[in-house]
Amino acid sequence: MSKYIEQIKKLVSLQGIDTELIDLKNKMEEAPKHLEMLQNELDSLEDQKAQLEERLKLLNDQKKKLEHDIEEDAGKIKKSKNKLMMVSNTREYHAMMREMDNLEKLNRFREEELNNLMEELQSQQSKKEELTQQIKSLRDELDACQATLDSELQQIQERILELERARKKACADIPVPILSRYNFIKDRLHNPVIVSVRQSVCTGCFISIPPQSFVEIQKGEQILSCPNCQRLIYWEEHYSGNKE
Ligand SMILES: [Zn+2]
């Protein structure tokens, strides 16, 4: 193998390491997103539940007050009925009858309100139970997701350490001026840094290189850059990076 091909081969294998590193670092950023989504969903359900509990408390207070008022006025009516037997004055009798009538009407109205309230309470209560169930299953999912994520992240981190060691070794094998060119491009362009030229097209930017450059690259003497995207290029007939 010529020295030129040897260098291309080393650069392509460095490229392989860098591509995997970039890929893993993206994965590390993406991985917690599903967890965050579940957490947001859980927070919103907890909020809904808290609101529902407040509403239930309010309805229960209303219920207590209504029950108390009904009982109180029922007591008044009962007392009036007893007193009614002893009233001889017609005007007083009618006044008491009217008052009792009003109280009875008021209580019938309250009973109706109480019925509506009980229905509302029941429906809110079953909503709360449903919500509690949802929260429980979401929390289970979240716990499972967290456990998976932790082991996934740990695996990724271990692989990154491995790759960083491999990268150091790969770099040590490449002549400094070539490595500097590689790193210069790496810091400025989107991955990849080194790409093949297929027929006469750069596979980094998919633009044809000039015929003169294509003739140069086929000679396989020095490492060229794509005049369009500046990536390092090599002729694919010289070396196929896929086969080791
Ligand atoms: Zn290009």
Residues 114 and 38 in one domain: yes
Answer with the one of 148, 168, 188 that is the final residue of a domain. 168
What's the gap in Å between 219 CA and the centre of ligand 1? 19
20, part of any domain = no
Q: What is the mean pLDDT of the chain?
A: 94
Residues 148 and 43 in one domain: yes
Residues 223 and 140 in one domain: no
Residues 116 and 212 in one domain: no
State the average pLDDT over residues 72-97. 91
% of the chain at pLDDT higher than 70 = 98
Residues 56 and 133 in one domain: yes
Residues 36 and 99 in one domain: yes
The total of structural domains in the chain comes to 2
Output the pLDDT for position 87: 85
Angle at 187 between CA 184 and CA 188, to 5 degrees: 90
222, part of any domain = yes
What's the gap in Å between 138 CA and the centre of ligand 1? 48
Length of the chain: 244
Residues 162 and 188 in one domain: no
Residue pair 221/196 in contact by the 8 Å Cβ criterion? no
Structure token pair of residue 1:
């193998």
What's the gap in Å between 23 CA and the centre of ligand 1? 21
What's the gap in Å between 4 CA and the centre of ligand 1? 20
Quick: pLDDT tens for 183-207: 999 999 999 999 999 999 999 999 9
3-state secondary structure of 66: helix
Output the pLDDT for position 101: 95
Quick: pLDDT tens for 28-57: 999 899 999 999 999 999 999 999 999 999
14, part of any domain = no
State the average pLDDT over residues 206-219. 96
Residues 109 and 160 in one domain: yes
What's the gap in Å between 28 CA and the centre of ligand 1? 29
What's the gap in Å between 182 CA and the centre of ligand 1? 14
Prediction pTM value: 0.71
pLDDT over threshold 90, residue 137: yes
What's the gap in Å between 229 CA and the centre of ligand 1? 4
Answer with the one of 113, 148, 168 that is the final residue of a domain. 168
Residues 116 and 210 in one domain: no
Residues 186 and 83 in one domain: no
What's the gap in Å between 26 CA and the centre of ligand 1? 24
What's the gap in Å between 185 CA and the centre of ligand 1? 12
- The region that residue 174 occupies, defined by phi over 0 for left and psi between -120 and 50 for alpha, beta otherwise, is beta
Looking at the DSSP assignment, which residues form a beta bridge with residue 234? 196
What backbone torsions phi and psi does residue 175 show, to the nearest 5 degrees? -55, 140
User: Could you say which DSSP state residue 208 is in?
Assistant: B
125, part of any domain = yes
18, part of any domain = no
Answer with the one of 127, 150, 168 that is the final residue of a domain. 168
What's the gap in Å between 161 CA and the centre of ligand 1? 31
State the average pLDDT over residues 112-118. 97
Comparing 62-71, 83-92, 212-221, the range with the smallest average pLDDT is 83-92
Domain that holds residue 224: 176-235
3-state secondary structure of 5: helix
What's the gap in Å between 79 CA and the centre of ligand 1? 101
